[in-house]
Amino acid sequence: FYIQRLRPFVNMFLGNISIKMVQLLCDEHLEIWNDLEKGTYNGWSASGDSVLKRLTTSAELQSPWELSSMNRLEWYWGMTKKLDKIGCMKIGNIYEINAKMRLVTTDGVETCDPFQIHLDKRSCPTISLITIGGDRPLGNIEIATVVGPYKNDDWNGMYGIFKVTEEMVSAQSIQIHISKAWKNVDIIVDISTITIKLATPETYGLTSCSTNLIKNWGAEIGDARFWKIVGSGSIQLSRGGVQPSSKWSIRHVDRTRSSDGLFQFIDQSCLTVGSFWQIQAIIKLVSARGEAFQCDINASTGEYTCPIIGLMMMKGNSRNYLHVHNSVKLAWKDGAYNEFRGYLEVDQQIASFDKVGVFVQRVKGDVDVIVDSISMIPLTDDISSRPLSTSVGQY
């Protein structure tokens, strides 16, 4: 037991020091914080040379529990909190994390793009989980991102789910870290909204290797959580879908190239060598002017190619693409939803990548792509009669 890290030439006076054993109470909540009204940061600290400030003035305040990460001269600076109940974590447990945030700069309200994958001036904050061994980090995984579409001048949700690993339960300590907004952007978090709790069967976004690997496959929750964009464009929600009961579908707008596409990371541990998968979706194409667009199901190149769905596989800085072609050879119906259905077999190369995701692309650049009921499910029956039509590219 020791106390250190006081600034040089500052005297410390201590008294009534005690160490008592307390019982760790494990329940559904791994962490929950809502006591900023006591005037303390409840264990939160600033990373780098950034500054934490509890917002209290009427001009700044939208919630009584707002904590702002300011003076962020680097994108990786932000706010950090040590988790107190890591002894409750068990390998394989799945947790759901929620929070609400907003962004400001010296010029006023700031926005970000929750759909982009790469890091730049439009990046949104993320919540990461950092495992510590001794006095150094062992690992850093992203566990929650901003839910899109982004709402300007309002609170925006952050959401994610993560599975407890052996590294987590064996770590000496675990921290959550909120950062990744661009430098000089203040990240304001409503601390009362941060919850990390055990997932239940009703937790949104849970998948398993025996069911659909696609999360938020129809946007029925009313947002586009888990979805990203490869290339340019943004995501909007379109009312209705292929089923009369469908409330929403996912619409990729402002596309400029055929390679621009919807994208979502999947659980690559499910992609075992020799497994077979069916990828299916219902897709409608509409021009940017709102007119129906008809593609040619037989075209392999040119501006009238129909959508393909496939895998984007990442290892280091390289990306490989596995294109899965549509086995449904019916003529495309303009102005209507059309079925895509393709098949793939996982080989050693696919299984070896660090990250794998599903994308929808290869449609003319100024055409909106509307997707509903997208799925990637395993096949356990005889697939010898199913057409495996794939091609590989690297960019």
For 84-103, b where at least 16 C-beta lie within 10 A, e where not — what string? ebbebbeeebebbbbbbbbb
User: What does the pLDDT read at residue 389?
Assistant: 61
**In contact, 113 and 167? CB cutoff 8 Å:** no
- If pLDDT is split at 50, 70 and 90, which confidence band does 183 have? very high
Distance CA 164, CA 201 (A): 17
Residue 314: exposure state from Cβ atoms within 10 A (0-12, 13-18, ≥19):
middle
Q: What is the mean pLDDT of residues 355-374?
A: 95
Strand partners for 390 = 324
154-169 per-position pLDDT tens digit: 899 999 999 999 999 9
Q: How confident is the model at residue 394 (pLDDT cuts 50, 70, 90)?
A: very low
Gap between the Cα atoms of 71 and 290, Å rounded = 44
Kindly indicate the confidence band of residue 381, based on its pLDDT and cuts at 50, 70 and 90.
Answer: confident
Average pLDDT, integer, range 325-333: 91
pLDDT tens by residue, 64-113:
678 999 999 999 999 999 998 899 999 999 999 999 999 999 999 999 99
Residue position matching structure tokens 């019916």:
330
Q: What is the mean pLDDT of residues 237-258?
A: 88
Q: What is the mean pLDDT of residues 304-323?
A: 90
What is the overall mean pLDDT for the chain?
88
Q: What pLDDT does residue 58 have?
A: 46
What domains sit in the chain, N to C, each tagged with a CATH number? 29-198 (2.60.120.260), 228-394 (2.60.120.260)
Q: Which amino acid is at 189?
A: V
The single-letter code of the amino acid at 388 is: L
CB 236 within 8 A of CB 249: no
Q: What local confidence, expressed as pLDDT, does residue 79 receive?
A: 96
The three-state DSSP-derived secondary structure of 355-370 is EEEEEEECCCCCEEEE
pLDDT of 33 above 80: no
Quick one: pLDDT at residue 386? 66
pLDDT band at 244 (very low <50, low <70, confident <90, very high): confident
Query: How far apart are alpha carbons 126 and 49 in whole angstroms?
Result: 19
The answer to whether residue 332 scores a pLDDT higher than 70 is yes
Strands lying side by side in the sheet with 228-230: 228-230, 261-265, 355-361, 308-315, 318-324, 390-394
Mean predicted confidence (pLDDT) in 29-56: 75
